[in-house]
Amino acid sequence: MFISVIRTVILYVFIIVMLRLMGKRQIGDMQPSELVVTLVVANLASIPMQNTSQPLLSGIAPVLALVSLELGVSVLMMKSRSLRRLVCGSPVVVIEDGRLLQKQMKRLRLTTDDLCAQLRQQNIFSLEDVQYCIMETNGILSVLEKPHKRKPCADDLDILIPDKKIEAVAVSDGEILKTSLDLCGHSEDDVFNILNSNNIDLDEVFLMTLDGNGSYRIIKKEK
């Protein structure tokens, strides 16, 4: 029993490292090759977990080979568009200038129900509102609404909006997040100066946000 737990922990850590090497993606954003590798890696890792008589290396070696192959193919795809099209496919236009392309939908085996469901997820409830719709290689729809249905932006209204810079979480549950501080262009000294000016100790902070202009918000821990 103890050996099974140790093997499981080792494989768990190993799989996390391998998936990190493959890059940060959600399941819905994965290309077909990445999804296949992820599923196969999970299956290979489960074999030595369930069967303690199986050498641990028999699960690790194939996973290493698969991840190495995936990384190699990814590098080649960056240099070769033809290989990328072969492995990942190409985006397909299903609505062009307001016209539904039925042949392309049949090619993708995309039903009208599926199309409308994905449009509704983007707050579009009528096909009449769509000018262009493209099925990306990861299966997600990219949609451009017709001009009269698009939300106006500041340029359209000739409005000058002040730049507040990016806002990031500077302190979370009494801990300073250095990566977030780098993102908004501040340092730990800036955080302590703000806290001192408000007579608040770091341990008392549940959440503190800070933007590039120095604007902040502090939420203290509940006692």
How do residues 33-84 score in pLDDT, each as one tens digit?
Answer: 677 777 787 777 777 777 777 777 777 888 888 888 888 888 888 888 888 8
Rounded average pLDDT over 13-39: 70
Instruction: Give the model's pLDDT for residue 26.
Output: 54
Q: How far apart are CA 77 and CA 37, in angstroms?
A: 16
Q: What tokens does 124 get?
A: 């579009």
* Those residues with Cβ within 8 angstroms of residue 62's Cβ, 6 or more apart along the chain or in another chain: 44
Q: Which helix (H) or strand (E) holds 145?
A: strand 141-145
Nearest 10 degrees: Cα torsion 21, 24, 30, 35:
40
Buried b (16+ CB within 10 A) or exposed e, 30-57: bbeebbebbeebeebbeebbeeeeeebe
Q: According to DSSP H, which parts of the chain are helical? A: 2-22, 32-50, 57-79, 81-88, 102-108, 112-120, 154-157, 178-184, 188-197
Identify whether the C-beta of residue 133 lies closer than 8 Å to the C-beta of residue 94: yes
Identify whether the C-beta of residue 136 lies closer than 8 Å to the C-beta of residue 184: no
Is residue 127's pLDDT more than 70?
yes
The amino acid occupying position 56 is L
Q: For 174, phi and psi rounded to 5 degrees?
A: 80, 5
Of 106-115, 117-126, 154-163, the range with the lowest mean pLDDT is 154-163
Rounded average pLDDT over 160-184: 89
Is residue 217's pLDDT more than 90?
yes
Q: How far apart are CA 102 and CA 108, in angstroms?
A: 10
